[in-house]
Amino acid sequence: MTWAVWATYTPRTVVVYESTYYYNDGVWYTRRVNEGETVYVVTSAPEGYEVESLPEDAEVIEVEGQTYYLSEHTFYQLIQRDGQDIYVVVDPPAGAQVASMPDEVVEHEEGDVTVYQFDETFYTQEIDDAGTQYYEVQPHPAEEELDELPADAVSFLVDDETYYYVHTALYVAADGGGYVMSEPALGGMTAQLPDGATVINEGGETYFQFDTVFFKQIESASGTTYEVVPAPDGSEIVEEED
């Protein structure tokens, strides 16, 4: 666990989906109480946080046909809103290959494999054919998998992938059997909303919400479809007073 030390200035407070984070000199923190003392713990950038631009050295990474942008160990996807490019923080995709990991990773032994964990992201160290070392983002460990689904699991299809909703989490079928946690990527399309999706109106726009997944209705010559989009309010940034 890494605690914050505010050396020169007050951190910026960022609220994303009603959760509060703190940003200081390129590092994100959450506030916790430890034995009665308030401490700030290093965490990953909050999923759903939005920026209008990325540093010029941001790396473009392709994973299973999806394009991601990597900057400071944070993965983004590009969306369009009102004709403007917006980069949204997303969950690091399993299979992504990166040159380095955050300094705060914690090492675990999973059988014969060493796994490195930072927040809710897991890595393994790999060597390519040229002998170059890299790190690969791994799926969540076995305790976040299901061997089978309950009979009443709600299912829906996005981009030809079937998602199952069980105990407030979304799963997809794993290649080796069973089901692993996963959520549809931003921009994913479906012809039919999940059973139980609710209609919400924000900022004059209509959205359809199913748990933490939001959809917008798209009309075209071929009919009605629904696109996976960020939560309607995006993020609210509030600067802390000195």
Q: How far apart are CA 8 and CA 48, in angstroms?
A: 28
Give the pLDDT confidence score for residue 9 in this predicted structure. 55
- In 90-183, beta strands by DSSP E: 97-98, 106-110, 113-118, 121-127, 133-138, 145-146, 154-158, 161-166, 169-173, 179-181
Give the pLDDT confidence score for residue 156 in this predicted structure. 93
Q: How far apart are CA 24 and CA 12, in angstroms?
A: 7
Report the mean per-residue pLDDT for the chain: 83
CA distances from 142 to 108, 135, 148, 156 (A): 13, 20, 13, 23
To the nearest 10°, the Cα dihedral for 29, 30, 33, 34?
Answer: -50
Give the pLDDT confidence score for residue 162 in this predicted structure. 94
pTM assigned to the model: 0.57
Q: What is the CA radius of gyration of the chain?
A: 19
Give the pLDDT confidence score for residue 233 in this predicted structure. 60
**pLDDT by 10s per residue, the chain, length 242:** 444 444 445 678 888 876 788 888 778 888 765 556 677 788 888 888 999 999 888 999 999 888 999 999 999 999 988 888 999 999 899 999 999 998 888 888 877 889 898 888 899 999 998 999 999 999 866 446 788 888 778 899 999 899 998 866 788 998 888 888 888 988 999 999 988 888 888 778 899 988 778 899 998 888 899 999 887 764 333 333 43
Give the pLDDT confidence score for residue 235 in this predicted structure. 33
Residue closest to 50 by CA, chosen among 30, 78, 23? 78
Give the pLDDT confidence score for residue 167 in this predicted structure. 67
Compute how many other C-beta atoms are within 10 angstroms of the C-beta atom of residue 39.
Answer: 15
111-134 per-position pLDDT tens digit: 788 989 888 889 999 999 899 999
Q: What is the DSSP letter of 136?
A: E
Per-domain residue ranges for the chain?
12-43, 50-138, 151-229
User: Exposed e or buried b for every residue in 196-218, given b needs 16+ CB within 10 A?
Assistant: ebeeeeeeeeebbbbeebbbeee
197-228 per-position pLDDT tens digit: 888 887 788 999 887 788 999 988 888 999 99
Give the pLDDT confidence score for residue 23 in this predicted structure. 87
